Amino acid sequence: MRVIKEIKDMQKFSLAAKARGKSIAFVPTMGFLHEGHLSLIQAARKKAEILVVSIFVNPIQFGPNEDFNRYPRDLKHDKKILENNNIDILFMPEANKMYGHGHRSFLEVEELSKKMCGRARPTHFKGVATVVAKLFNIVMPDYVFLGEKDYQQLIVIRTMAAEMNYAIEVIPMPIVRDFDGLALSSRNKYLNEKERKSATILHKALLFAKTEIDNGERDLHRLLMRVRSMIGAEPAIRLDYAVIVDPNTLEETKKLKGDLVIALAATLGATRLIDNIKVKA
Ligand code: AMP
């Protein structure tokens, strides 16, 4: 595994690989790697001759009162995992190189970035779309692997890649969960024992909703009320939103009909978690 820190060196590597006719798969991450990241890495390994993984905690996707400074980092552990998984390149740019003094260029996917998490985090997806566009220009991948855990992020990036004409195939990967159903996330590290236990209600509530739909429930409002009250009954959790949306437009559905995604965000103490489940009504 070669570690590249300089943007120019990464571009040189990718251009040379492409000149030799090699395909490049890319897994962007913020590090503190877990099995969720690994599922993306292992699928990407099979897809292309060159595998690039990036670790970059992107400052511009964090709001002023969010957890940028305390976001969990463990580079030694991450490097060990990557070395055991046959990565070609670990790309780790420095923030002051990615955003030189007075950086002015940003990319926004309108509408999609204002829904769901965008309400509580109004600049988040602008930061995400911008960094991913920059990473695409630097790594020049043929394939990018993204987790469905961050469902809105997946749709924002897929839309950005299509509308900005990147010749990159976006490959979504299913959510990897802990033994009790909690979606794996680097942020789970923040949870204390009590919060960690309470957090299991998020997936339970999603599963409950899916089962209700599978059993014929078609009353959207009744279903959402029940999901919200299940989560509301956990004293340690503050539900930010629970919505049922179209899987492509992220518009809230008016009817329980067809392919849908039930998505939620909740705060436990100082930790914001998200989760979702795909359903067919
Ligand atoms: P992050 O390091 O949190 O920015 O995540 C990097 C990539 O890993 C994103 O595409 C995430 O959606 C994906 N990812 C994070 N957690 C999971 C998970 N539990 N299952 C599947 N993919 C995940």
State the chain's mean pLDDT as an integer: 98
Q: How many CA atoms lie within 13 A of 112 on its CB side?
A: 23
Task: Cite the DSSP H helix spans in the chain.
Answer: 7-19, 35-47, 75-83, 95-98, 117-120, 124-139, 151-163, 193-198, 200-214, 220-232
Q: How many CA atoms lie within 13 A of 125 on its CB side?
A: 25
Q: Which of 149, 152, 190 to mutate to test the pocket of ligand 1 (most atoms within 8 A of CB)?
A: 149
Do 230 and 245 form a contact (C-beta atoms < 8 A)?
Answer: no
Residue of minimum CA distance from atom 5 in ligand 1:
29
Each residue of 63-90: pLDDT tens digit? 999 999 999 999 999 999 999 999 999 9
Residue list, ligand 1 pocket, CB within 6 Å: 29-30, 36-37, 39-40, 146-147, 149-150, 173, 175-176, 183-186
Cα 164-172-95 angle, rounded to 5 deg: 60
Q: How far does the centroid of ligand 1 lie from the alpha carbon of residue 177, in Å? A: 11
Q: How far does the centroid of ligand 1 lie from the alpha carbon of residue 217, in Å? A: 31
Each residue of 19-65: pLDDT tens digit? 999 999 999 999 999 999 999 999 999 999 999 999 999 999 999 99
**How does residue 224 score in pLDDT terms, banded at 50, 70 and 90?**
very high
- Identify residue 261 by its one-letter amino acid code: V
Residue of minimum CA distance from atom 22 in ligand 1:
147
Kindly report the backbone phi and psi dihedral angles of residue 91, in degrees, each rounded to the nearest multiple of 5, phi listed first. Answer: -100, 120
Q: What is the mean pLDDT of residues 211-230?
A: 98
Query: Which tokens belong to 62?
Result: 């964090």
Q: How many CB atoms lie within 10 A of CB 23?
A: 13
**How does residue 176 score in pLDDT terms, banded at 50, 70 and 90?**
very high
Residue of minimum CA distance from atom 18 in ligand 1:
36
Q: Is position 37 annotated as part of the catalytic site?
A: yes
Each residue of 124-175: pLDDT tens digit? 999 999 999 999 999 999 999 999 999 999 999 999 999 999 999 999 999 9
Q: How far does the centroid of ligand 1 lie from the alpha carbon of residue 37, in Å? A: 5
Q: Which of 37, 186, 272 to mutate to test the pocket of ligand 1 (most atoms within 8 A of CB)?
A: 37
Q: How confident is the model at residue 273, as a pLDDT?
A: 98
Q: How many CB atoms lie within 10 A of CB 236?
A: 17
Kindly report the backbone phi and psi dihedral angles of residue 101, in degrees, each rounded to the nearest multiple of 5, phi listed first. Answer: -50, 125
